[in-house]
Amino acid sequence: MKLRPVAAIVLRQFYLMRSSPTRVLPMIAWVTIDMVLWGFISRYLDNVASHRINFIATLLGAVLFWDFFTRVMQGVTMAFFEDVWSRNFINVFATPLSITEYLTGLVLTAVVTSLVGLLIMLLLARVVFGLSFLSFGALLLPFLLLLFLFGIALGVLASAMVLRLGPVSEWLVWPIPALLSPFVGVFYPLSTLPAWMRFIGHLLPPSYVFEAMRAVVGGHPYRAAGLTIATALVLFDIAIACALFTRVFRYTVRSGLLARYSAESAG
């Protein structure tokens, strides 16, 4: 893998963001809105409910983690969509750029963009609503890492879907986090769910993160095995997502879909 082609994908995104406030604003606006909204809801619940539950840590912490995952996933897909929107597939893929280099570039772009969102959320949660990160203990980093990796896996998977189904399938990508959230128990324990939803939840790495988060905040012991399972699942998901993207890419090259994706080029 060469570094310059990877850097090209990151640099392109930097150029686009530097010149376009409309690309930067959503990175800041949505997380800010979520933090403010859920921050006040959590504060209100802290005031009216029993003091056995720390709503700021439980609810606001959950929103912070979930938004971080969403930002990572969208960081990957947004960078991919830039090639869809600018009809750039022929220019990009008729080059020595390998699929590994391309995907690595998308992931590095997502690292940068999601960190911006994360920093804003951490700042707001801490300064405005007094969320103490100590309440998550040393698990804060593994939580973020697992969600980051799952965001990468889903971002790559969603990009493969759009590559296969065409630009119009873009709208299917945006609701994916909302679709998953009931199954992973962002705001409630998995035991709340019916058996079939719980089964699906157990296949999704974030479920283990949110279960562990609630345990830690509630002062209960958390299941280390859960995070181990989550790690194995997320690594599996990433491998599957990358393999699927590669498979879809090869299909588009074989079928002529890539050449026709952005141009009437079938001669």
Partner 1 sequence: MSAEHPPSLAAHGLAAPSGAAGPDALQVSGLSKHYGALVAVADVCFAVARGEIVGLLGPNGAGKTTTINMLLGILQPSAGSILIEGIDLARQRSRALAHTNFAAVYAALPGNLTVEQNLRFFALIYNVAGAGARIEQLLGQFELRGLRRTRCGLLSSGEQTRLALAKALLNEPRLLLLDEPTASLDPSAADLTRNRIRALARERGCGILWTSHNMYEVEDTCDRVLFLSRGRLLLQGDPRRLPAEHGTRSLEELFIRLAREPLTAGEPAAREPRA
Q: Which is nearer to partner 1, 96 or 219 (CB)?
A: 96
Q: Interior CA angle at 195 toward 192 and 200, to 5°? A: 95
Binding region for partner 1 (CB under 8 A): 2, 4-5, 7-8, 11-12, 15-16, 19-20, 82, 86-98, 250, 253-256, 258-259, 262-267
CB 161 to partner 1: min, Å:
20
CB 12 to partner 1: min, Å:
5
CB 76 to partner 1: min, Å:
18
Q: Which is nearer to partner 1, 56 or 160 (CB)?
A: 160
Q: Which is nearer to partner 1, 92 or 244 (CB)?
A: 92
CB 250 to partner 1: min, Å:
8
Under 8 Å between Cβ of 155 and 74: yes
CB 98 to partner 1: min, Å:
5
State CA 94 to chain mean position distance. Answer: 29
Task: Give the torsion sign (CA, 206, 207, 209, 214).
Answer: positive
Q: Which is nearer to partner 1, 28 or 253 (CB)?
A: 253
Q: Which is nearer to partner 1, 132 or 255 (CB)?
A: 255
CB 8 to partner 1: min, Å:
3
Q: Report which DSSP code applies to 191.
A: G
Q: Which is nearer to partner 1, 86 or 192 (CB)?
A: 86
